[in-house]
Amino acid sequence: MHPAGKRIGIDFDNTIVGYDQVFLETAVREGLLGREFVGNKQAIRDAIRLLPDGELAWQRLQGVVYGRGMARAVIFEGVDTFLRRCRDEGHQVFVVSHKTEFGHFDPARVNLRAAALDWMTRHGFFEAHGYALSPDNVFFESSRADKLRRIASIGCTHFIDDLEEVLSDPSFPPINRILFGAPPSPAAGERIEGAGATPPYPICATWGHIEAEVFRERG
């Protein structure tokens, strides 16, 4: 028995689900990047934003990837092990994501929330012998403010997100926060914009590191 069960909130896009290859394939197909381009979602975003009307192009690309491209997205390595441990030890898991119903400038008008739920269903999130997540524990919110209010209202003890600007928001509830991603590593002598203070929460580059952080024994 685990009397002090945790209530673990997890972001969806780019935290549970990886889109690097989908973004690259779609950007090349749309003529936004050359076939020789190599890089993850962050690098793709940065490159596209440098194009004429780059911000608009990036928003359009997101609408395609998170809608029609959702079926080709992958679950991050280690998420499976983490969620099964939560299931077996009786910890509650919530998915809380800032996700609009439809993508910006998506002519196909794919329902992004329905696409995400379909993806979760196909990957066994709601199966008793899968991750045993209740559909009632999945929340798609229309704004970051709504997302933060939801995290507070459901009483999360932990929250995992890939965006530092979310975890560092002044309105973020006072709970355990974990940033999923690699810490910045500037070249010698290079100054990171906005640097000057270490985030007051751990930065974990893998889901194995996240599991160790969430379930570490405390003295």
Q: Do 30 and 84 belong together in one domain? A: no
Q: Do 135 and 149 belong together in one domain? A: yes
C-alpha closest to that of 33 among 16, 1, 58: 58
pTM of the model: 0.87
User: Is residue 70 a part of any domain in this protein?
Assistant: no
Write out the residue range of the structural domain in which residue 133 sits.
7-18+75-214
Q: Do 107 and 205 belong together in one domain? A: yes
C-alpha closest to that of 155 among 168, 170, 142, 139: 139
> What does each C-alpha distance from 157 to 26, 36, 43, 173, 214 come to in angstroms?
37, 44, 32, 10, 10
Report helix angle 20-29 to 54-65, nearest 10.
Answer: 120
pLDDT tens track, the chain, 219 positions: 344 689 999 999 999 999 999 999 999 999 999 999 999 888 999 999 999 999 999 988 988 899 889 999 999 999 999 999 999 999 999 999 999 888 767 777 889 999 999 999 999 999 999 999 999 999 999 999 999 999 999 999 999 999 999 999 999 999 999 999 876 544 433 333 444 467 889 999 999 999 999 998 543
User: Is residue 51 a part of any domain in this protein?
Assistant: yes
